[in-house]
Amino acid sequence: MKQSLQLKLGQHLTMTPQLQQAIRLLQLSTLELQHEIQEQLDSNPLLEMTESAGDEGGEPQQQDQNSSEPFSDPEVLRESAGAAAETPLSGADEAMPQDLSVDTTWEDIYDSVLPAGSGGDSEENRDFESYTAGTSTLGDHLRWQLNLTPMSDNDRLIAEAIIDGIDADGMLTVSLPELTEGFDPSLGIEEYEVLAVLHRVQHFDPLGVGSRDLRECLGIQLRQLDENDAAVRNARAIVDKYLELLGTRDYSTVMRKLRLSEDELRAAIACIRQLNPRPGGVINPEPPEYVVPDVLVNRRGGRWHVELNPEIAPRLRVNAYYAGLIRRADNSADNVFLRDNLQEAKWFIKSLQSRNDTLLKVAKCIVERQQGFLENGEESMRPMILHDVATAVGMHESTISRVTTQKYMHTPGGIFELKYFFSSHVSTAAGGECSSVAIRAIIKKLVAAENTRKPLSDSKIASILEDQGINVARRTIAKYREALGIAPSNERKQLT
């Protein structure tokens, strides 16, 4: 094969570092963006955050320039130190007594003056979440009770093994034979001993922890209630014998077998509903997840206004003092370092501004198309796909997908993810289109208003929608119902 040189001309798209940075910032969520901005502020000395909107682009104050210098005059430092030493503290002008009692505290002699932002016992400095946030797990809570319970060494060893086998919901995940086989044979621990210790652990707080199934968990809690109450006795009988029938809502069979009236069954069911089927969840609650909206939408003067949340869009600028130190013809290491960081700071600010502009442009387009939803609710949601917004704002669908992922909009009706406003459509009898979000809202409304004795089936809901001009198949109704977390009609049946 003969080798030769050929000259070809062509065009291709190159992903520059600036473009890659802009795309990466575009798909970051609010928390991820704040973390990225903080990293840039920590690593780039030429990038700083403005204190207010009026400081943006302005010259830094002389005090800031002096404070940023690495060295200071030694004479000035000595004078400052001397002045600080001569400055009396609050309450220091009083002479300290020579003889102090044993229980004397600092506050008895000097006034406690805390700087702003420091910790203290005042109400303003107390962080409520630091007091309420639970740090102990269910296992720690049970072991703390175990240490307060008098037991023999073998029983304490068994209790430790039982606690290790309890999951976050408070249920025992290990069988008694497995627990018995896990001990040293020289200890001679039998299965009945494990069962006896298990019964003691099950009466720890929260009550019912360590149960092997739902029936045992509910039964333990019911046995602590007043047995003279007829509703409690009936609830015990239902849990012991007919819990499966109660789960399938076969109320007629339960009333027939236990010879109960409808009022007595209703009282027993109300008693069972007060119980906790997952007692461990009381000790290990799920941590709250807070959502910070990226876009704020409100109505002023009869029009909808869209703006970015100022709390998540900090104002950045280039440090004018360090930028003024850069010399054009200097190739020293310090000057090259400042020059490179200056360019990176400008790129980052430009990419951040591009992200904000794109997010605001897409949010305005969504609000313009979904004004019916903002004014009338979910039933007025219009069908909309990524292609519709991409065509309106002149961008690619992938860009719209990035800018709407993990971004949230605060509206008078609540906080919604931008992805929430995109939905498929279903044809109507009049030739129009109906959004799937609107259909789900209609289904939710129909179920809320149904007769609990005879709940609406999926076929019945489909026929009701067909009467309203919306052609939806039964399996589609089932899919939407499951997405809403609504149980089937046989499980929604209740005693009125």
Q: Based on the domain organization, do 256 and 316 belong to the same domain? A: no
User: In this structure, what token pair is assigned to residue 464?
Assistant: 């009701």
- What residues contact residue 162 under an 8 Å CB cut-off, 6+ apart? 172, 179, 194, 197, 198, 201, 210
Q: Report CA torsion sign: 441, 443, 449, 453.
A: negative
Q: What's the CA gap between 143 and 133, in Å, rounded?
A: 20
Residue 300, φ and ψ in degrees, nearest 5: -135, 130
- Confidence band for 90, pLDDT divided at 50, 70 and 90: very low
Q: Based on the domain organization, do 404 and 438 belong to the same domain? A: no
Q: Based on the domain organization, do 150 and 226 belong to the same domain? A: no
- What residues contact residue 172 under an 8 Å CB cut-off, 6+ apart? 162, 165, 166, 198, 210, 211, 212
Report pTM. Answer: 0.64
pLDDT computed for residue 77 by the predictor:
37
Q: Of the residues 282, 310, 333, which one is the last residue of a structural domain?
A: 282
pLDDT computed for residue 105 by the predictor:
62
Asked if residue 66 belongs to a domain, the reply is: no
Q: Based on the domain organization, do 336 and 396 belong to the same domain? A: yes
Please indicate whether residue 20 or residue 361 has the higher confidence score (pLDDT).
361
Asked if residue 1 belongs to a domain, the reply is: no
Residue 277, φ and ψ in degrees, nearest 5: -75, -15
Q: Based on the domain organization, do 303 and 364 belong to the same domain? A: yes
Q: Based on the domain organization, do 327 and 410 belong to the same domain? A: yes
What pLDDT, in 10s, does the model give residues 399-430?
899 899 889 999 999 999 999 999 877 777 66
Q: Based on the domain organization, do 412 and 455 belong to the same domain? A: no
What pLDDT, in 10s, does the model give residues 343-390?
999 999 998 998 999 999 999 999 999 999 999 888 888 889 999 999
Helix or strand run (H / E) with residue 41: helix 30-43
Q: Dihedral through CA 366, CA 367, CA 373, CA 377, nearest 10?
A: 120
Q: What's the CA gap between 405 and 29, in Å, rounded?
A: 8
Asked if residue 32 belongs to a domain, the reply is: no
Residue 408, φ and ψ in degrees, nearest 5: -125, 150
Q: Report CA torsion sign: 88, 94, 96, 101.
A: negative
Q: Which residue is listed with tokens 């027939």? A: 256
Asked if residue 273 belongs to a domain, the reply is: yes
∠ CA(277), CA(279), CA(284), 5° rounding?
A: 130
Q: What is the mean pLDDT of residues 42-58?
A: 71
Q: What is the mean pLDDT of residues 133-139?
A: 71
Q: What's the CA gap between 334 and 232, in Å, rounded?
A: 81
Q: Based on the domain organization, do 184 and 269 belong to the same domain? A: no
Q: Of the residues 421, 437, 460, which one is the last residue of a structural domain?
A: 421
**How many domains does one find in the chain?**
4
CATH number for 456: 1.10.10.60
Asked if residue 2 belongs to a domain, the reply is: no
Pairing of strands 295-300, 408-411: parallel
Please indicate whether residue 134 or residue 192 has the higher confidence score (pLDDT).
192
Asked if residue 337 belongs to a domain, the reply is: yes
Cβ atoms of 426 and 436 closer than 8 Å: yes
Share of the chain above pLDDT 90, in %: 44
Cis peptide before 279 (omega within 30 of 0): no
Q: What is the mean pLDDT of residues 46-74?
A: 51
Pairing of strands 425-427, 433-435: antiparallel
Structural domain for 155, as ranges: 138-201
pLDDT computed for residue 70 by the predictor:
39
Q: Based on the domain organization, do 260 and 247 belong to the same domain? A: yes
pLDDT computed for residue 469 by the predictor:
86
Burial 333-360 (b: 16+ CB within 10 A, else e): eeeeebbebbebbeebbebbebbeebbb
Q: Based on the domain organization, do 329 and 396 belong to the same domain? A: yes
Asked if residue 3 belongs to a domain, the reply is: no
Q: Based on the domain organization, do 301 and 389 belong to the same domain? A: yes
Mean pLDDT of the chain: 82
Q: What count of Cα atoms within 13 Å lies in the side-chain half-sphere of residue 393?
A: 24
Q: Of the residues 228, 258, 282, which one is the last residue of a structural domain?
A: 282
What pLDDT, in 10s, does the model give residues 256-299?
999 999 999 999 999 999 999 999 988 866 677 788 899 999 99
How many other CB atoms are found less than 10 A from the CB of residue 450? Answer: 15
Comparing C-alpha atoms, which of 287, 288, 289 is closest to residue 137?
A: 287
Burial-class residue 496 by CB neighbours within 10 Å (0-12, 13-18, 19+): exposed
Q: Based on the domain organization, do 257 and 300 belong to the same domain? A: no
